[in-house]
Structures are given as structure tokens and as C-alpha cells.
Amino acid sequence: MAKNWLQEMRKWMTEKMDLPEDVMMDLPRITMIGQIHIYIENHRGLLTFADDEVRLLLKQGQLLIKGEQFVIKIILPEEILLQGKVVEVIYLDE
């Protein structure tokens, strides 16, 4: 119950104060350049990395990125830049 109330309060504040939803709602921001780069901000950590699959922990769930020839170009505590061929991006609500 409290969790829903908090989400509703954040949503209301976002709308009224004209703040970015990804910041207020603690959501990941995903930026893709074609199929060759994907930049993810606001994640909670790298769970798995392989040349064809990357899994990131989010505040709520996980993000699964499938593709080919992945290379980590930049990795910071809450940001990651992958290079390779991105084939699929899946949000796992687990």
C-alpha cells in the first residue's frame, strides 16, 4: 500500500514540477544509436556479461540486452555504454 502511494506521489510531483520521469520515478534511461550503441543510465549493477547478452539490475526488475559482439566501452556505478549489434532489449519484471 505504501509503495503505491509513494509511486503516485512521485508521479504527481513529476507532473506538477515538470521534472524528468526517469529521475523522479527511478527508471532507467536507455539511449540507442541505431543497432551499434546502447547507453543505459540509472541501473543498479551489471549481473551478467557475455559477447551476446548483457543483464542489468534495475530498481524494479532487470534489463536484458541481446545481440552480437558486445564490448563495454564505459562502465560507471549507474551508467554503461555497450558497443556491438543490439538485437533485442527486454524488460524483465522479476
Greater model confidence, 48 or 14:
48
Inter-CA distances, 66 with 10, 53, 56, 87, 90, Å: 31, 5, 12, 6, 8
pLDDT (0 to 100) of residue 51 = 97
The ranges assigned to domains in the chain are 26-92
Q: Report the pLDDT value the prediction gives residue 2, as an integer from 0 to 100.
A: 59
Percent of the chain with pLDDT over 70: 78
Instruction: Note the pLDDT tens digit of each residue in 9-44.
Output: 667 766 766 655 555 567 899 999 999 999 999 999
Which segments of the chain are extended strands (E)?
A: 29-33, 37-41, 45-50, 53-57, 62-76, 79-92
Q: Please tell me which residue, 11 or 71, carries the higher pLDDT value.
A: 71
pLDDT at 57 over 90: yes
Name the CATH topology of 26-92.
Immunoglobulin-like (2.60.40)
| Residue 81 identity | L
